Homo-oligomer: A and B are copies of this chain.
């Protein structure tokens, strides 16, 4: 690695879930082992800083033991004499939420050699009266720089101003935006609402370069709906890449545990997305069985070079699916043959894990998961089955999971843990969600979250009107939203909306829902009628094209003219052509606040927020 100079070198990791399964005798140290490896990789590669994408902790209220272990690791790796060779040139108190209001390595009472930056995830987000997150503990102790924490307020959709951390190293200028996890539904609404999300942007002057010469990174922690999964679930079921502002160059996407770390181009957008994936498997699903990586990110000027580094300390995880019907050596009338067949598979997977383990160190007993489609067969006792593998497999108690009707539940290519499969631990929260995504319902009006609540009330509180109220409320909300949308957007096609309203949402398969929970025997069909024909405001099949009112204002065309389309970098020193080729920053779509704010620029303080308008309803190209 080039030290000093103008190359900013960042190690990117996410979803370390420290403290995950801390009570499991076998796996309790897994999260810490890998976090320690990540820190040691940062040290070995002499990066400028370590950047984390949220869910550093598995719980917002980590145990004392987890806090102690985490602090010990950070202290061992972050505190040293290595000089920090970049500067944070933005208002530090605005972007870093702690009482000391500065980046940790500038506190001269601490000898920080490796700064760590992180946002919060859904597991370790702020809560309580004081809006405190577990990351705040580390931040108060000056062990990390916690950014992207927002106070949304309690009323309405809320507004948020994203103050980035402006980083300078030599001639490289990076604006690091962070958006700690917000409930998907809420963030979705905010991204659709004008001015609800203000992205503060660098302004040239004071020796900083023109706007175009900044490299803009966003770290986000949400369910991801990319161009591949765009058709899955409702818009409230994740954040679409297409909703993000176009001035970005690179998006680091946390929360999704599948490792899709190579930056991907988003068709129709100008930025790339890297999804590092978790550093530990918290769901035993196919997506988590892929090798785990972290990303070494070198940025020079406006070019970047991504290098993925495999993690060695991750516990091996082998995953298989088997449809008993299709196996010739399995006899439906003889349970023993099922046993023999499944034991054979487990043995093979253990062997496979052993072979692929790094040589030299004693390999950890692997995680093994077999998803068994047992249609036409009887299940076998999973716990009993696992007793043969105590000491050989890290999860003997749940090697096997049984599912009927594999056809309906088959994992779609590219699906993620949050929408693809129901994790046994998250059954309470995810039943409706999973059913909805399995059936590929287009739930545009009804919120899955509200449905879950309704289901909960129906089953646990005996509230027979739960689904009815949920429906009423959702329709009311949709009507209001529609009215607002019509008022806001000048060129929205009213006929198109009316047409959308008439469209019927696909009816769900009722059996799937009644099957989903054992407590549902009493489910009254009239309450389920809410699923049948609600109006739909927006459909993914027929995307609504709408534009921001300000985009058509008098100022925007001149603004756009003033922004050049950034030329592909030529040469780029030691950077690979791949990286150079990927670099496309198109600013034509970037929207600014009205002209009067522009006129007032000269008198404004440097860091005043620039209202970035509405990024929501862009054309979806698929």
Contacts and interface: CB of A to CB of B under 8 A. Distances in A.
Interface of A: 23, 60-61, 63-65, 67-68, 71-72, 75, 79-80, 99-100, 107-111, 128-130, 132-134, 136-137, 140-143
Contact of A133 (B61, B64, B140): B64
Given A67-B140, A109-B111, 9 more contacts: A61-B64, A64-B132, A68-B137, A68-B140, A71-B137, A72-B99, A79-B109, A109-B110, A110-B110
Per CB-CB distance, the 8 closest pairs between chain A and chain B, nearest first, are A79-B109, A109-B111, A71-B140, A141-B141, A65-B130, A64-B132, A65-B132, A68-B140
A128 B75 CA distance: 23
A67 B68 CA distance: 12
Contact of A132 (B61, B68, B100, B136): B68
A107 B109 CA distance: 12
Contacts of A133: 64
A20 B32 CA distance: 31
A124 to B, nearest CB: 10
Which of A79, A141, A143 has most B Cβ within 10 Å?
A: A141
Which of A60, A107, A128, A130 has most B Cβ within 10 Å?
A: A130
Contacts of A23: 129
Contacts of A68: 130, 132, 136-137, 140
Copies, count: 2
Contacts of A71: 137, 140-141
A277 to B, nearest CB: 27
A71 B100 CA distance: 12
Given A108-B111, A111-B108, A111-B110, A64 B141 contact: no
A24 to B, nearest CB: 11
Contacts of A80: 109
Nearest to A138: B141
B99 A136 contact: no
Nearest to A139: B68
A64 B140 CA distance: 11
A108 B133 CA distance: 29
A602 to B, nearest CB: 38
Contact of A64 (B107, B109, B110, B136): B136
21 contacts: A61-B61, A61-B63, A61-B64, A64-B133, A64-B134, A64-B136, A65-B128, A65-B129, A67-B67, A68-B136, A68-B137, A71-B137, A71-B140, A72-B99, A72-B100, A72-B140, A75-B140, A75-B141, A109-B110, A137-B137, A141-B143
A30 to B, nearest CB: 16
A65 B128 CA distance: 8
A60 B64 contact: yes
Contacts of A64: 60-61, 128, 132-134, 136-137
Nearest to A64: B132
A79 B140 CA distance: 13
A59 to B, nearest CB: 10
Given A110-B110, A111-B108, A137 B75 contact: no
A61 B137 CA distance: 13
Nearest to A128: B65
A153 to B, nearest CB: 19
A511 to B, nearest CB: 44
Contacts of A63: 61, 128, 132
A132 B71 CA distance: 13
A43 to B, nearest CB: 14
A22 to B, nearest CB: 9
Nearest to A133: B64
Which of A65, A80, A111 has most B Cβ within 10 Å?
A: A65
Contacts of A137: 64, 67-68, 71, 137
A64 B149 CA distance: 15
Nearest to A80: B109
A61 to B, nearest CB: 7
Contacts of A109: 79-80, 110-111
Nearest to A79: B109
A243 to B, nearest CB: 31
A132 B70 CA distance: 13
Nearest to A67: B137
Contacts of A67: 67, 137, 140
Contacts of A134: 64
A71 B143 CA distance: 12
